Amino acid sequence: MTTSYSFAVVFHILIIFSSISSFPSGETKNGDREMRLELIHRHYMDDVSAPKTQYDKVKDLVQDDLIRVRMLYGRISRYHYDNGKVGKHSSAIIITTTKASNSSAVLPISSAAYKGIGQYFVQFRVGTPSKKFTLIVDTGSDLTWINCRYRCKKCTSRTRMNDHRIFQAARSLSFKTIPCSSNLCKNLTFSFVTCPSKRDPCQYDYGYQDGSTAHGFYAYETVTMSLTNGRKTRLHGVPIGCSYSTSTGTLGVVDGILGLGYNDNSFATKATAKFGNNFSYCLVDHLSPKNVSSYLTFGYSKHLVSGSSPPTNLQFTNIQAIDGLYHVNIVGISIGGLVLKIPSEIFSFQNQGGVILDSGSSLTFLVEPAYKTVMKYLMAAFTKFKQVKDESFEFCFQSQGFHESAVPKLVFHFADSVRFEPHLKSYVIDVSDGVKCLGFIPNAWPGISIIGNIMQQNFLWEFDLKWKRLGFAPSTCT
């Protein structure tokens, strides 16, 4: 990868855990429940920071994405090295269904792109009594953790420090450490291989590619979720991480991470087992103001597609979970109705390729053979526009006189004749006043391609964990 592509984007999603005194049961007479979490763009939290230009924001996003891609590629490389053996990060997961399989819980989502970094927050609640925290929601991670203190005599007893909330675990009636000697500890992500003592909690050491780290131990906790009927419900015995040490970097602005990766102990699996075995999100335009929101939903997503109850316009394709990541079966890419000549092994995980859908990456990454072909055909549509040099993207242009009708339609072709037609604004993106760029970043081959969440914006995405399907449909997300 050349220096001209030395910046990239990460879109995470943040969740805030808030305090509740008392509430009735979440059950209704007909069993219809929904749990909602509001998705708030990360920069909603940074109003006091110095304003950035749109160009600076895009550069920051690109840098974060490149860091994330290296992390994801490292995980997949280790999986290939282990020859796909079933282990901690395997996709061999048994989903336990519940009687309330058509109920759902929802968290509102909104964009904070005006702050410069492509992440999303939601409100989330943990502990007894429940407390509020701001977490990044990440489909590329199966570890859920919060900044935490527990039985530490020299540690602060405050609930906030350096603009971060701190979970004082000893004050929670539902907090219970997971022993290092337990079988569960052996199967939890990034847990230590050896135990200092059998009575010690199960510890972890999680490193992120931007230099951020999270050290802590696992515990069972109670999570409080809002339902669309206005009531609340609790999830008991959820494994979470109590992080007593975190470094700067991506983690410097949050209270923790909500892992939605595919793992038998991840929050996504625990929540969907109660609310219908699926979860979904709908990301508003990444340039939307902070008062525009959508939802991260656990359970049936019937309220998220306008005019459909339940959704009838969802297309479905198979999805495969490998090492906690969501792989989609793409068979080709077309531009303007022309199917591009891209080698089939590019889209095959078995051949060191493959494509993942990732809410934690902002831009779309294509491995070199696919990237060069897609860029060649798209750039041909902009020959009449003056090209602008940019250090983050290969092709940018002055957009005076630009009209969408001049751009050929980009289509990702999934197996079973399913087509994903992203909105033009998702791949011809605004980087500054009067300047647009083709929002693709090259990735080395062999390697993975990533459909980032700018490409996903204004679509409803539904992950069916029981039947291993991915459903999607256009939506305003509001």
Active site residues: 138, 358
Range 297-309 burial, b when 16+ CB lie within 10 A, else e:
bbbbbbbbbeebe
Rounded-to-integer distance, Cα 458 and Cα 435, Å: 22
Q: How many CA atoms lie within 13 A of 338 on its CB side?
A: 11
DSSP3 helix / strand / coil % (the chain, rounded to 5): 20, 35, 45
Rounded-to-integer distance, Cα 400 and Cα 435, Å: 8
Ramachandran assignment for 347, one of left (phi > 0), alpha (psi -120 to 50 degrees), beta (any other): alpha
The stretches of 82-191 forming alpha helices (DSSP H) are 183-187
Q: Cβ(164)–Cβ(255) under 8 Å?
A: yes
> Taking Cα atoms as reference points, which of 275, 306, 195, 345 lies closest to residue 31?
275
The amino acid present at 368, given as its one-letter code, is E
Q: How many CA atoms lie within 13 A of 208 on its CB side?
A: 26
Rounded-to-integer distance, Cα 172 and Cα 162, Å: 22
A 10 A CB-CB count for 104 gives 30
Rounded-to-integer distance, Cα 425 and Cα 285, Å: 9
A 10 A CB-CB count for 168 gives 19
A 10 A CB-CB count for 130 gives 24
The residue with tokens 């089939």 is 344
* Residue 431 DSSP SS3: strand
Q: Cβ(226)–Cβ(232) under 8 Å?
A: yes
Q: Which residues on adjacent β-strands are paired with residue 396?
A: 388, 437
User: How is residue 188 annotated by DSSP?
Assistant: S
- Between CA 322 and CA 239, with CA 206 as vertex, the angle to 5 degrees is 75
A 10 A CB-CB count for 288 gives 21
Q: How many CA atoms lie within 13 A of 97 on its CB side?
A: 8
> Taking Cα atoms as reference points, which of 439, 35, 465 lies closest to residue 263?
465
What spatial distance separates the first Cα and last Cα of the chain, rounded to whole Å?
A: 38
